[in-house]
């Protein structure tokens, strides 16, 4: 069977061979619609470019790295990560890039057993990399300050000179959630946060405290609980709050998974949501709208987080630079888990 050529692709896509070459080589002066049409034709013809030869000529590999640092071992099934990764991969593959996954489950790097992200990038000759699940204090982060590759990180700032942070305004989002509960009449608010190795935990805690201060609400230290972003962690933290002599009338959580654990604890304690306890989550995973009652939560555009990360990396690869910070839209999704406090 004859091997397809760029002439075949050009004929099927209705463009010139020059346009096909530009699209396949990820040149910036091709519209996204034309690029997609060219790649669709290439796939239909089962076009197999000589990637090695092209890479030698262009000194580019056509490959980017995805460092998915899976600390809780849920992998791609994690309800937050799955859609982020989908947005990332869809955008990269449309542009003809291969994505090489570097998965480091379990414990983060330690000074005794460091993981060199920079060496992995060099070893596999990736053109750039996207990071998910990084933690503050990871000793492997320090070497990234010397990395000249374009890097993108979701929710954790990197020290690298060509790094882009893709995130939402976590502080403002939490402030709005606090203001919403205060507007319903709540005066006793508690906060169940994730672990403090997460950059977003620090931002969401700042938002909770500043939101409470703006509303004139005192927050006892025992009503701010550090947990771990998981459902069991949220369950344990909520039970701790409910056992206190004076319990809060509303609890905010730094993740929906922890809020789901809070539902279970409240129900086991005989409390009705929202009559006896109002609950607010964060992320708006698919389960949030399926709970009884449906969960009020901060909605994050998870697919857009991934797509924005990919676009930032592609912009850096095409033009040599991308914004230092990209903020993705969010909103407070008001559902039935919140109501006025009981009289």
User: What CATH number is attached to the domain comprising 271?
Assistant: 3.40.50.2300
pTM over 0.85: no
Domains contained in the chain, number: 3
- Are residues 264 and 312 located together in one domain of the fold? no
pLDDT at 23: 85
- In this predicted structure, the answer to whether residue 55 has a pLDDT above a threshold of 60 is no
Average pLDDT over residues 298-308: 97
**Closest by alpha carbon to 254, among 246, 265, 262?**
262
Distance CA(7)–CA(264), nearest Å, equals 61
Return phi, psi of residue 250, to 5°. -150, 145
- Are residues 18 and 127 located together in one domain of the fold? no
**Does the residue 218 lie in any domain?**
yes
- Are residues 161 and 306 located together in one domain of the fold? yes
Instruction: With cut-offs at 50, 70 and 90, classify the pLDDT of residue 47.
Output: confident
- Are residues 97 and 117 located together in one domain of the fold? yes
- Are residues 200 and 269 located together in one domain of the fold? yes
Beta carbons within 10 angstroms of residue 28's beta carbon:
11
- Are residues 174 and 127 located together in one domain of the fold? no
- In this predicted structure, the answer to whether residue 56 has a pLDDT above a threshold of 50 is no
Between these two residues, 183 and 318, which has the higher pLDDT value?
Answer: 183
- Are residues 154 and 180 located together in one domain of the fold? no
Average pLDDT over residues 262-290: 98
pLDDT at 59: 53
- Are residues 45 and 65 located together in one domain of the fold? no
CATH code where residue 28 lies: 1.10.260.40
- Residue-wise pLDDT for 241-265, tens only, equals 999 999 999 999 999 999 999 999 9
pLDDT at 46: 77
- DSSP helix/strand/coil, 67: strand
- Are residues 178 and 297 located together in one domain of the fold? yes
- DSSP helix/strand/coil, 250: strand
Beta carbons within 10 angstroms of residue 319's beta carbon:
9
Q: Which residues pair with 279 in a beta bridge?
A: 251
pLDDT at 76: 66
Between these two residues, 49 and 126, which has the higher pLDDT value?
Answer: 126
Between these two residues, 140 and 149, which has the higher pLDDT value?
Answer: 149
Domain enclosing residue 179, as ranges? 170-301
- Residue-wise pLDDT for 164-205, tens only, equals 999 999 999 999 999 999 999 999 999 999 999 999 999 999
- Are residues 322 and 272 located together in one domain of the fold? no
- Are residues 79 and 23 located together in one domain of the fold? no
- Are residues 157 and 177 located together in one domain of the fold? no
- β-sheet with 278-283: strand ranges across: 224-226, 189-193, 250-253, 278-283, 296-300, 330-333
Average pLDDT over residues 16-45: 84
> To the nearest whole percent, how much of the chain has pLDDT over 70?
90
**Does the residue 193 lie in any domain?**
yes
């Amino acid at each position: 069977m004859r091997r397809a050529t760029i002439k075949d692709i050009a004929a099927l896509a209705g463009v010139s061979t020059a346009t096909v070459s530009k699209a396949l080589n990820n040149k910036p002066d091709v519209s996204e619609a034309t690029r997609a049409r060219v790649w669709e034709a290439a796939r239909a013809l089962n076009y197999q470019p000589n990637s090695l030869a092209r890479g030698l000529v262009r000194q580019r590999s056509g490959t980017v790295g995805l460092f998915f640092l899976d600390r809780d071992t849920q992998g791609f099934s994690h309800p937050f990560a799955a859609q982020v990764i989908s947005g990332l991969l869809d955008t990269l593959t449309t542009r003809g890039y291969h994505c090489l996954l570097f998965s480091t489950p379990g414990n983060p790097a330690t000074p005794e057993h460091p993981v060199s992200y920079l060496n992995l990038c060099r070893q596999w000759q990736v053109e750039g990399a996207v990071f998910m699940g990084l933690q503050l204090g990871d000793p492997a982060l320090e070497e990234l300050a010397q990395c000249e590759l374009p890097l993108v990180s979701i929710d954790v700032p990197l020290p690298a000179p060509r790094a882009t942070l893709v995130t939402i305004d976590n502080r403002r989002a939490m402030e709005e959630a606090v203001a919403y509960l205060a507007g319903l009449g709540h005066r006793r608010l508690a906060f169940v946060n994730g672990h403090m190795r997460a950059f977003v935990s620090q931002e969401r805690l700042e938002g909770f405290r500043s939101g409470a201060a703006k509303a004139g609400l005192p927050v006892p230290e025992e009503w701010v609980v550090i947990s771990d972003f998981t459902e069991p962690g949220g369950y344990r933290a909520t039970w701790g709050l409910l056992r206190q002599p004076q319990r809060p009338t509303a609890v905010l959580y730094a993740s929906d998974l922890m809020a789901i654990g809070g539902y279970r604890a409240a129900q086991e304690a005989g409390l009705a949501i929202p009559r006896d306890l109002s609950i607010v989550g964060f992320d708006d995973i698919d389960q949030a709208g399926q709970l009884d009652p449906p969960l009020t939560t901060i909605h994050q555009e998870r697919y857009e987080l991934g797509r924005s990360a990919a676009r930032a990396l592609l912009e850096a690869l095409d033009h040599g630079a991308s914004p230092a910070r990209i903020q993705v839209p969010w909103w407070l999704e008001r559902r039935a888990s919140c109501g006025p406090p009981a009289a």
